[in-house]
């Protein structure tokens, strides 16, 4: 997938809001010399409560906008969009002539091989209503029991940034109480949820699975280390890579969060997509 012609092309990611930064952070750690473009559609967050046709319109519009950057790959850092397109990924990749990755496939493949009996998935309403993880995992390993739980309060809580620890714990407990006691692991099936990983780790003993890890394991096979990064640039040279952030609204929030979470001082640009009113 990578030749010298497209080495400098960016990897484009998108999410409804700040959640996809959890994927971007792991990508930067694993592929530090790549260029990144991140789009947060904070005008229309959350995606997970919207209808299929609403999400489809939004995602098509985002693809149209991202493709102008001539990306080497597009990553849907959003489980909701990934659930919508899980069966159309290769057709759309072909049509747009760019590899497109979702959050669900790699994780489904990886957990299907793990010796667990039952796995719980926390996700948005759309992902759960479409049984996105359940269908994909059970197709590979029908013996693995999957339960999916809609956690509608988590995205507003995480995006809200102003909840007290007590309020956060109360909401998290609500979903832990719905989670089977005999589950072996919990998939964080929304890219926002790793942002409350520390809270979760204190409240449950379940093994917590971030699908971004499986995705990155798969990407490692397609994105070999850049030649210039490995051989040509002396270790003392400053890092050449660029991270560009865009938001359709609430630029300050994305800026603040990039600083807090990515530890990067980045200016957020306005993205003017042709807004579909939903």
Residues at the contact surface with ligand DGL, assessed by CB under 6 A:
15-16, 19, 45-48, 78-80, 124, 155, 190-192
Rounded to an integer, what distance in angstroms lies between the CA atom of residue 239 and that of residue 116? Answer: 41
The catalytic site residues sit at 78, 190
Neighbouring C-beta atoms of residue 223, cutoff 10 Å = 19
CA angle 64–157–118, rounded 5-degree value: 85
Tokens linked to 199:
């809270």
- At its nearest, how many Å lie between ligand DGL and the CB of residue 275? 16
- At its nearest, how many Å lie between ligand DGL and the CB of residue 189? 7
CA angle 18–205–189, rounded 5-degree value: 35
> Can you say how many angstroms the Cα of residue 250 is from the centroid of all Cα atoms in its chain?
19
**Residues 126, 83: contact at Cβ < 8 Å?**
yes
Residues 6+ apart with CB under 8 A from 250: 40, 42, 43
Which of 28/103 has CB closer to ligand DGL? 103
Which of 83/226 has CB closer to ligand DGL? 83
Tokens linked to 203:
């409240």
- At its nearest, how many Å lie between ligand DGL and the CB of residue 16? 3
Which of 10/46 has CB closer to ligand DGL? 46
Which of 36/126 has CB closer to ligand DGL? 126
- At its nearest, how many Å lie between ligand DGL and the CB of residue 126? 7
Which of 37/59 has CB closer to ligand DGL? 59
Position with the least CB separation from ligand DGL: 48
- At its nearest, how many Å lie between ligand DGL and the CB of residue 86? 13
Residue in the block written with tokens 């947060």: 40
Q: Which of 15, 125, 19, 30 is nearest to 76 (CA)?
A: 15
């Amino acid at each position: 997938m990578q030749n010298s012609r497209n080495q400098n092309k960016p990897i484009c990611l998108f999410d409804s809001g700040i959640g996809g930064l959890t994927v971007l952070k792991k990508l930067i750690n694993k592929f530090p010399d790549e260029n990144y473009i991140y789009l947060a559609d904070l005008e229309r967050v959350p995606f997970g409560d919207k209808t299929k046709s609403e999400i489809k319109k939004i995602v098509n519009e985002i693809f149209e906008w991202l493709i102008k950057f001539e990306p080497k790959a597009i990553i849907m850092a959003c489980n909701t969009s990934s659930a919508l397109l899980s069966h159309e990924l290769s057709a759309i990749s072909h049509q747009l002539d760019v590899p497109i990755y979702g959050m669900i496939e790699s994780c489904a493949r990886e957990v299907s091989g793990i010796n667990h009996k039952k796995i719980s998935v926390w996700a948005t309403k759309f992902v759960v209503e479409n049984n996105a993880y359940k269908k994909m995992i059970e197709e590979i390993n029908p013996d693995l029991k999957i339960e999916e739980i809609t956690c509608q309060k988590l995205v507003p809580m995480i995006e809200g940034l102003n909840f007290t620890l007590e309020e956060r714990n109360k909401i998290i407990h609500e979903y832990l109480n719905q989670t089977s006691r005999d589950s072996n692991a919990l998939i964080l099936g929304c890219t926002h949820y790793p942002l409350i990983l520390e809270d979760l780790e204190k409240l449950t003993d379940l093994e917590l699975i971030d699908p971004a890890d499986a995705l990155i394991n798969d990407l490692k096979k397609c994105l070999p280390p850049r030649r210039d990064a490995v051989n040509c640039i002396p270790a003392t040279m400053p890092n050449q890579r660029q991270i560009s952030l865009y938001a359709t609204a609430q630029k300050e929030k994305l800026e603040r969060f990039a600083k807090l979470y990515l530890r990067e001082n980045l200016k957020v640009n306005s993205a003017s997509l042709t807004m579909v009113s939903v």
